[in-house]
Amino acid sequence: MKSENLAIVLVSGGMDSCVSTALTISDGFEPAFLHMNYGQLTEKRELRAFHEIGDYYAVKERMVVDIMHLSAMGGSCLTDTNIEVPYANLDNIEIPISYVPFRNANILAAAVSWAEIIYAKRIYVGAVEEDSSGYPDCRRSFFDVFEKAISEGTKPETEISIVTPLINLSKREIIEKGMEMKIPFHLTWSCYRKEDIPCGECDSCALRSRGFQQAGVKDPLTP
Amino acid sequence: MKSENLAIVLVSGGMDSCVSTALTISDGFEPAFLHMNYGQLTEKRELRAFHEIGDYYAVKERMVVDIMHLSAMGGSCLTDTNIEVPYANLDNIEIPISYVPFRNANILAAAVSWAEIIYAKRIYVGAVEEDSSGYPDCRRSFFDVFEKAISEGTKPETEISIVTPLINLSKREIIEKGMEMKIPFHLTWSCYRKEDIPCGECDSCALRSRGFQQAGVKDPLTP
């Protein structure tokens, strides 16, 4: 709690949060790791990735937050076992069934509460606009408005900004940046459906696989 | 889920949420009750009030959401048993120790997720600016900005507004409105510290007691 330069990093356990961690450190901040359990099917595997990435970067402050109400409310294939995770369709222009309504606001609200308590000045979010499958709460315009809500809804002396270093990058560029920064891709987890080996068929696997292909790099998670 | 006119009401179990419920109904909406458990000391008593008020108004849709991370993070006397709830000081102009950092954003985020799923068009919040002990996330300016975040962060077709019918009222006026609408004051609970009889000494008890006194009405909870 004593660091003058704490920044919270939202760490799902995927590649994007791992690259965000490396960028937080290179920006001169000490990362405090925040993971959200909202009842996603692969939570156990994600949590393992969260801690392995945390160990890799020697992260001291870690917090796992349960926002299980998102799962109790249903409405998304990521949290409702009655709705099947569909096969990937990267050309889909509609908001897919994996959209968890207003998920990022729930996550950010918890992050801001923690940030105000531990005096963290920034919240790093690995959101990617292009590859966000059209989720409305993954766009920079949403984060901009949410920053204003932080400014209005916290103590006058509290200043917390939301940093989205990957927001305009493609998966290919994220992978290239990660290679440059030597991030531990082998510790990350992206699949929405399986916890032992990536299913290769969900949106998240498809985006990851296309990214590695375009970057001309082998994904260490694939055989 | 079939009502065309659902509105979520945030119901702590206090007077303000009870008056808000009556106003929701008189505005022509069917109330869906949402209660947040964030580890407050008097949660058990609040939950009883939530259900008794719900029964009184025959509320069908009810959801209780655990946001226990606010308690795990600490930083407020309402959620951290190591910090004592202070004696009331209604002249205090600083943000008091009962402030739970960015609490209302956490609550609203959950409410919006639920609203988007059950197609509720409004969220009624019994926040009161004057009597909010200076909490920054109880001011209308905060709710205004949060409404913009809802608009940016949800599906294009989703329209959810935050209604704060009590925001500019004094406790006296709220009690007068409640009397007018015949709300069941005897079912509500306000005390921050005790669950059997109100302590009479915390900020919340002091505000309630002053309000009843000013309105010239006897609080049914006092002997």
Residue B180, SS3 per DSSP: helix
pLDDT of res. B39 = 80
**Percentage of chain B modeled with pLDDT above 90:** 68
With bands split at pLDDT 50, 70 and 90, how would you rate the model's confidence at B99? low
Task: Output the six-digit token pair for B25.
Answer: 């109904």
pLDDT at B159 over 60: yes
Which chain A residue lies closest to B134 (C-alpha atoms)? Answer: A155
User: A145–B148: do the CB atoms touch at under 8 Å?
Assistant: yes
Average pLDDT, chain A: 89
Q: What is the mean pLDDT of residues B135-148?
A: 93
- Picking from B66, B109, B137, the nearest residue to A106 by CB comes out as B109
What's the count of helices (H) and strands (E) in chain B, helices before strands? 7, 5
Which chain B residues are closer than 8 Å to A156 by Cβ? 136
User: Which residues, 6+ apart, have CB-to-CB distance to A134 below 8 Å?
Assistant: A92, A93, A94, A95, A96, A99
pLDDT at A149 over 80: yes
Which chain B residues are closer than 8 Å to A100 by Cβ? 113
Q: Say how many CB pairs under 8 Å bridge A and B.
A: 146
β-bridge partners, A66: A37
User: Which residues, 6+ apart, have CB-to-CB distance to A191 below 8 Å?
Assistant: A42, A45, A198, A199, A200, A202, A204, A205
Phi, psi of A101 (to 5 degrees): -50, 120
- By a Cβ cutoff of 8 Å, what residues of chain A touch chain B? 63, 65-70, 72-75, 95, 99-106, 108-110, 112-114, 116-117, 136-137, 139, 141-142, 145-146, 148-150, 152-156
- By a Cβ cutoff of 8 Å, what residues of chain B touch chain A? 63, 65-70, 72-75, 95, 99-106, 108-110, 112-114, 116-117, 136-137, 139, 141-142, 145-146, 148-150, 152-156
Which chain B residues are closer than 8 Å to A73 by Cβ? 63, 113-114, 117
Which chain B residues are closer than 8 Å to A110 by Cβ? 67, 69-70, 106
pLDDT tens-digit series, residues A152-208: 999 999 999 999 999 999 999 999 999 999 999 999 999 988 999 999 998 889 999
B28 class by beta-carbon count within 10 Å (0-12 exposed, 13-18 middle, 19+ buried): exposed
- Round to whole Å and give the CA distance between B35 and B117: 17
- Picking from A63, A99, A146, the nearest residue to B149 by CB comes out as A146
For the CA atoms of A40, A41, A45, A47, the dihedral, rounded to the nearest 10 degrees, stands at 20
pTM of the model: 0.87
With bands split at pLDDT 50, 70 and 90, how would you rate the model's confidence at A127? very high
pLDDT tens-digit series, residues B78-91: 566 666 666 666 56
DSSP state of B105: H
pLDDT tens-digit series, residues A67-98: 888 877 876 655 666 666 666 665 655 556 66
Q: What is the mean pLDDT of residues A120-131?
A: 91
User: A154–B102: do the CB atoms touch at under 8 Å?
Assistant: yes
pLDDT at A131 over 70: no
Phi, psi of B205 (to 5 degrees): -65, -40
pLDDT of res. B81 = 62
Of the candidates A94, A93, A72, the one whose C-alpha atom is nearest the C-alpha of residue A81 is: A72
Q: Are A208 and A219 in contact (CB under 8 A)?
A: yes
Q: Are A36 and A67 in contact (CB under 8 A)?
A: yes
pLDDT tens-digit series, residues B23-55: 999 999 999 999 998 888 899 999 999 999 999
User: A149–B142: do the CB atoms touch at under 8 Å?
Assistant: yes
With bands split at pLDDT 50, 70 and 90, how would you rate the model's confidence at B185? very high
User: Which residues, 6+ apart, have CB-to-CB distance to B213 below 8 Å?
Assistant: none
User: Which residues, 6+ apart, have CB-to-CB distance to A136 below 8 Å?
Assistant: A95, A142, B152, B153, B154, B155, B156
With bands split at pLDDT 50, 70 and 90, how would you rate the model's confidence at B133? low
pLDDT of res. B203 = 83
Q: Domain boundaries in chain B?
A: 6-215
User: What ipTM was reported for this prediction?
Assistant: 0.85
pLDDT at B170 over 70: yes
Q: Are B210 and B90 in contact (CB under 8 A)?
A: yes
Q: Are A35 and A46 in contact (CB under 8 A)?
A: yes
pLDDT of res. B71 = 76
- Round to whole Å and give the CA distance between B45 and A30: 41
The helix, strand and coil proportions of chain A, stated in percent and rounded to the nearest 5, come to 40, 10, 50
pLDDT of res. A109 = 96
Specify the amino acid at residue B43: E
With bands split at pLDDT 50, 70 and 90, how would you rate the model's confidence at B1? very low
Average pLDDT, chain B: 89
pLDDT of res. A1 = 45
Which chain B residues are closer than 8 Å to A67 by Cβ? 67, 69, 110
- Round to whole Å and give the CA distance between B140 and B168: 9
- Round to whole Å and give the CA distance between B51 and A118: 35
- Picking from A69, A99, A149, the nearest residue to B110 by CB comes out as A69
- Round to whole Å and give the CA distance between A134 and B120: 22
- Round to whole Å and give the CA distance between A29 and B126: 39
The CATH architecture that domain A6-215 belongs to is 3-Layer(aba) Sandwich (3.40)
